Structure 1
Amino acid sequence: MLGAVYREIDKKTEELIVRIYGNWVREYNCIRYGEGCYSVVALVDDFPAGFISVYPRKLPEPFHEFCDAYIEVIEVHKEYRRRGIATELIKRAEAWAKEYGYRQISSWSSDDKKEALKMWYALDYGIMPAVMRGKSVIKEFENKPILGFYVSKMLNPSGKYLHP
C-alpha cells in the first residue's frame, strides 16, 4: 500500500506543486480556490505525488446560465502512476461534487494521454473524441487544434443545474 495522505491544497502546498510539476500549474491557473471549487493533493512522505482541481464551469448554449463541476487538472507524478492515486483523487472529487450538488462532472484529456482513457472508462465516465483549440501547456500547440477526449459522468441525474 502506498500510504498517501490526501488533503485540500493551500497556497503553501501549491508552491510545492509548482516547484515539482512546473510553472504551467500557475501560468494556466490550474489550481482553483473559492466557492464551488475543490483542490486536493496526494502526499507521499510529504511529496506531492498527484493533485486534482475542480471548479464550476459554465455550460454551453443554450444552458449557459448553469454550471457543473469541471476537472481543470489531474496530474500524477510519473514515479507514482498506476498505483491508484488518480483513481482516488477522482473518486474524492466526485464525492465532493455530488455532495455540493453538481449534476455532472467532466474533464478533457488530450490525445497524448490515451493511457488514461481506460481509467476514465473504468470509473464509468462517458468518453467523446473532440478537438479543442486555444490555450495549451505546450506552446507549439497554442491556437492550433488539439486532439483529445471529453469525459463526463452524471452524479445527480435528477438534480438541478447550479447557477454560477
Structure 2
Amino acid sequence: MTQRILLGAAFYFLWLGLSGHFSPFLLATSILSVIGVVLLLSRLGLVARDYQPFSLVVSLVIYWRWLLAEIVKANIEVARCVLGLGRPATPSMAWVEASQKTDLCRALYANSITLTPGTITVLAEGDRFLIHALHREGIAALQEGEMDRRCLALDENFRGRRG
C-alpha cells in the first residue's frame, strides 16, 4: 500500500511540475487520474512489493537533466549548421546497438535519440536501431555508447526494483 501511495505522489508531483495549471478543477481531476493510473498499474501487476519509486524517480531526474543538456548542445550545433556558421551537413545512416533488456528502456533510448536534434531513430529491429544523423559525428557519438550506458543504468535500476 505504501508503494502505491508513494508512486501516486510521484506521479502527481510530476504532473504538477509539467502542467503548470493550478485551478481547483484540474487539481481535483488530476488526483482522480493519478488514482486511476496507480490502480491500473496495480491491477496489471506492475507495482511490485519491493518497488521503490523514488529511487527510480531520482535516476530518471538525473538522466533527464543529462539529456536536456545534450538536447541544448545538439540544438546549438543544428542551428549553426542551418545558418552556415558550423560545419556542413554530412547526412548518414547506421545501425546502433541497444543494450537495454526491457521494451520500456529500449523505447526510452530510441526516443532519446530522436529528441536530440540532428538524429532520428528510423527503425527499431530487435536490439538495434537504424539511425539517421545530420552529421557523421552524431552516429559516432551514439556508437561510443554514452546514451546507451545511461539508458542501460535506468534499465538495470528498473529491473532490479521489480525483481
Q: Larger relative CO (CA 8 A, sep 6+): 1 or 2?
A: 2
The structure with more helix, counted as a fraction of residues: 2
User: What's the TM-score bracket when you normalise by the shorter of the two chains?
Assistant: under 0.3
The structure with more strand, counted as a fraction of residues: 1
For normalisation by structure 1, the TM-score amounts to: 0.26
Kindly name which structure, 1 or 2, has the bigger radius of gyration based on alpha carbons.
Answer: 2
For normalisation by structure 2, the TM-score amounts to: 0.26
